[in-house]
Structure 1
Amino acid sequence: MSARELGAAGIDDPVARAAYLRCREINASYGRTFFLATRLLTPGRRPSVHALYGFARLADEIVDDTAVGHTPAQRAAALDGLERELKAGLAGEPGRNPVITAVAHTARRYRLAPDLFTDFLASMRLDLRVTEYRDLAALREYMYGSAAVIGLQMLPVFGTVGPREEAEPAAIALGEAFQLTNFLRDIGEDLDRGRLYLPTEELAAFGVDRALLTWCRRTGRADQRVRRALAHLAAYTYSIYRDAKRGVALLEPVSRPCVATALTLYREILDGIVAADYDVLDRRIVVSRQRRLAVALPSLGRAVLARL
């Protein structure tokens, strides 16, 4: 199937093909929900989506690499090296990292603005020195680089039925909605890494601070103040999903089933958080494989009809 995708995308060079296959493996291994949604795209669009995902994952792994001896300064240097290699790839120079080879090929093919990658890496660097955000405005500034630009990178691959700029606000909202969902789901894991992404002012309005969240994480006990704060932030995230959903109709018909499925499945993670009564500090909410397939199969029919 992957060979057919590469052929449909017109990727014939053996080095490029191997690079895209590596990105596909990364997407399949680490982004199971999103990978399932990509199966609904036309074959020729899938390799580029895998490449963009692979690059984001590569940078994320550098940031989260806390092995002994890997200091923030060393990780920052690794990000600098990644950026230099990307710039060289965007200029058409051959690289050693297959992920860079694939994402640079995609960026050139779809004429992606270099600023999208610069802004993404800037937010990745923030993770090495910023451990919390005061308010939603500060968090959204971070999320523009860490999530919204990925939506903007994907937009040319998906295609739009009108001017691309009309679909950009929804693409930004989709990236934000996915990341806010992750922040709510992964509070405990992020605390373990010394980070708190949920805005401290929003939490403080309900009497919640980092110390209380850490206590809940350590003891496995729930707290009504935490539940109320997370319910407030979940309601805000639902509003972002509504903004994102309006953009599905602005995409090319063959891409709508993929994006609609990804949106539905990620929103169901948020539904799971609500159903768990926000008791998420010591467990991870997931959408079951059976449920993922139940959502994706009807979309497959719509995807086939759209191609016809």
Structure 2
Amino acid sequence: MVSSSIIRQTPRQVGGGRERAALVRQAKKSITRGSKSFSLASKLFDRATRERVWLLYAWCRRCDDIADGQDHGASILKLDDATTKQRVLAIRILTERALQGQPTAELAFDAFNQVSAECRLTQEEANDVIEGFALDAQGWRPRTEEDLMRYCFHVAGAVGVMMAKVMGVSGEDHETLDRACDLGLAFQLVNIARDVSDDDAAGRCYIPLEWQAEADLPPGMRLRPEYREQLVALVARMLDIAEQHEAAARFGANGLRFRQRWAVLSAAGIYGAIGRKVRAAGPHAWDHRIHTSAWSKLGFVARGFVDAIRGAPEPEVWPKHTRGSLMTAARMAGPPAPMPMTPLPDEA
């Protein structure tokens, strides 16, 4: 046994001891490979903001990949419950180490160490995101609309809040953080609407059970041809909510600096277009994965420039679900599971 008085603690190291430039290079590769839409929008930021966005994205992408056993979003694996829970536990431990300023031996988590130190990201904010992976690990499915929106808060709304802080928004500027959350919620609802077929193949469904019951849509039958009409109506309902949150986010972007506003509105335009294409495709929306072309993305960047100059009007209808109500629901659901911190070999 070694006396506790002589155990060597690993000193705090920003970026896990890696050079910031190396972290930025790898983070840029991650966003370029993982999301063409976000990669394009990120280029509209000033250099400092752009690099921080890449660093945060790298952490989000790596967490998602660890949780689902995938590589940059490709081919979600059907993992057993025990394996999935262990993966989420690994995400928690690595993230806590990063926030404590400890090296993780995982580049994306060291990138999170770097950006969290620069932008004062908190453990609570990180936990809000990780809880989305934990819900999937539990095989959780939304029963109500409120459940759906709480899930969207964890996996995207909370990311929007962190992105706003990366852009320099103060943690006390709750109005702007609320609107950033709205943008994340809109993006996730569009993702869910587009990915009904992919989620079904992975054994997942995020359409609330109450909605399905109201539409006389039997569980597990949503993609059957005879039930496509009901599915189309439910997805349209989801996209209606997404558009309300998008409108709120656009209005909130008025308070950002010009280049930030331009980037946010360009991304909103790209994702909004995906939602509209899903709606327009009706029962054929899931015959193949809907996306926007490179030329279309450039068109939305140009339109985003004009929108950033003009500014967005206040929404006629504000979303029912707010960041405050969703955070309250998340807290009432209980804190994340405790993280046993086993010292790594270099700490003994």
Matches within 5 A, 1:292-307: 292-297=297-302, 299=304
For the residue of structure 2 that corresponds to 1:246, the secondary structure is helix
State the Cα deviation string for residues 197-244 of structure 1 (Å, max 9, x = none). Answer: 11121232222233321424xxxx773222222222222221121122
1:197 corresponds to: 206
How many angstroms apart in 1 are the aligned matches of 2:239 and 2:188? 12
Residues 107-126 of structure 1 correspond to what in structure 2 (within 5 A)? 107-126=116-135
TM-score by length of 1: 0.86
Per the alignment, do residues 129 and 162 of structure 1 end up closer, same or farther by CA in structure 2, a change over 3 Å counting? closer
Residues 43, 301 of structure 1: alpha-carbon distance in 2 compared, 3 angstrom cutoff: farther
- The letter of the residue matching 2:45 is L
Tell me what 1:228 maps to: 233
Match of 2:64 in 1: 60
- The 3 A distance-change label for structure 1 pair 165 and 59 is same
Shift of the 214–277 alpha-carbon distance from structure 1 to 2, 3 Å rule, reads: closer
Task: Measure, in 2, the Cα distance between the counterparts of 1:35 and 1:302.
Answer: 20
Distance in 2, Cα, partners of 1:35 & 1:106: 17
- Segments of structure 1 that go 5 or more residues without pairing to the other structure are 1-10
Equivalent in 150, 154, 165 of residue 159 of structure 2: 150
1:48 — aligned with what?
52
Paired residue secondary structure (1:212): coil
Question: 1:28 and 1:248, CA in 2 relative to 1: closer, same or farther beyond 3 A?
Answer: same
Q: Using the alignment, how far apart are the partners of 2:279 and 2:303 within structure 1?
A: 25
Q: 1:302 to 1:215 in 2, by over 3 A?
A: closer
Task: Please give the alpha-carbon distance, in whole angstroms, between the structure 2 residues aligned to 1:243 and 1:202.
Answer: 24
- Does residue 171 (structure 1) correspond to residue 180 (structure 2)? The answer is yes
CA shift, 1:188, in A, is 0.4
**Paired letter, 1:268:** A
CA contact (8 A) 2:85 2:138 kept: no
Tell me the equivalent position of 2:313: none
Mark the structure with the bigger radius of gyration: 2
Which is richer in helix?
1
> What is the deviation of 1:74?
2.0
CA 248–278 in structure 1, closer or farther in 2 if over 3 Å, else same = farther
2:284 corresponding residue in structure 1: 279
**Unpaired segments of 5 or more residues in structure 2?**
1-14, 71-75, 310-348
Contact 2:31-2:39 within 8 A present in 1 as well:
yes
CA distance in 1, matches of 2:307, 2:183: 21
Q: 1:225 to 1:256 in 2, by over 3 A?
A: same
Deviations 1:233-278 (A, max 9, x none): 2222211211221111122223100001001110000011112125
| Cross-structure match for 2:111 | 102
TM-score, with length taken from structure 2: 0.76
* 1:246 paired to 2:255: no
Report the equivalent of 1:17.
21
Of 83, 91, 102, 2:100 maps to 91
Q: Percent sequence identity over matched residues?
A: 23
Q: In structure 1, how many angstroms separate the alpha carbons of the residues matched to 2:219 and 2:257?
A: 44
Give secondary structure in 2 for the equivalent of 1:41: coil
Alpha-carbon separation, structure 2, partners of 1:90 and 1:106:
10
Equivalent position amino acid for 2:297 in 1 = R
CA RMSD of aligned residues (A): 2.5
Q: Secondary structure at the match of 2:224?
A: helix
Pick closer, same or farther for the CA change 1:287–1:157 going to 2, 3 Å.
same
Change in CA separation of 1:131 and 1:122 when aligned onto 2, cut-off 3 Å: closer
Correspondence 1:178-217 to 2 at 5 A? 178-216=187-225
User: Structure 1 residues 85, 205: closer, same or farther in 2, change over 3 A?
Assistant: same
CA positional deviation for 1:168: 1.6
- Residue 302 (structure 1) shift: 8.7
Matched pairs, number: 289
Name 2:271's counterpart in structure 1.
266
